[in-house]
Amino acid sequence: MDDDKQNTTSTESENDAKRHRDQSERSSEDLEKDRQQLEALLETIKRLEEEKRKRRKKPKRPKGMIAIEFGTVFHPNMVLNFLGYYMLNLTIIYTVVELFAFGAFRDLQTVLLYVLAYTAIETVFRMYMLMNHFQFVVRSLGFIFYLGYLTIFYVLNVYVFPGSVIIFEDVFFVTFVALFIFFRYVLSKVFRDTVFRG
């Protein structure tokens, strides 16, 4: 009986050892499969992160492409956007008039009111043109805006603020509007790219 017990015990221990070997062989195979799957997942994650980084980068505009600036939106809130335009217009109009000596303003109140009136009229004009005559704006490559801004400045100088804003010569007036549009485009682009995207 003791011999039977011993034989049974030795057979059980052999079976246990065999099961343990089988399990360790299976577990090493399983570990190898798991390691390969994890490596494949890591590669996939790296590729996805790289694609995500590529998509985040701003696509560069091809050289030679014509861009029309329809008006920058600084903020989705219309009041804050208007104030942003007002500050930008105030800075550029005053700087261009003083820097290039195209004319003179009578006093500070005149400058503030003049730019406020210009910004309000220009905003309405731009919205009207984009909402109702977008195809015309595109066909004219935005030149209609130059003519509109020229008209707005002329009406403000001659009829709304007569004698308060003095532009010395008519040629200066046309040049002033062209410089104003150029500097506003450059500054609004820089401002938009650095402040709102950076």
- Between CA 35 and CA 32 the distance in angstroms is 5
Q: Which tens digit of pLDDT belongs to each residue from 68-126?
A: 455 556 667 788 888 888 988 899 988 888 888 877 788 888 889 999 999 999 999 98
The two tokens of residue 193 are 């790219």
Q: Determine the Cα–Cα distance for residues 65 and 61; give it in Å rounded to an integer.
A: 7
What average pLDDT score do residues 146-174 get? Answer: 82
Indicate the domain borders of the chain: 1-59, 78-192
Residues 105-117, buried b or exposed e (16+ Cβ, 10 A)?
Answer: beeeeebeebbee
**pLDDT above 70 for 12:** no
pLDDT above 70 coverage of the chain, percent = 72
pTM, entire model: 0.61
Comparison of pLDDT for 126 and 21, the residue scoring more = 126
CB environment 140-174: b (16+ within 10 A), e (fewer): eebebbbebbbebbeebbeeebeebbebeeeebbe
**Which residues does residue 103 pair with via DSSP β-bridges, in sequence order?**
167
Q: Catalogue the E-assigned strands of 5-69.
A: none
Selected residue with higher pLDDT from 57 and 154: 154
Q: Are 175 and 102 in contact (CB under 8 A)?
A: yes
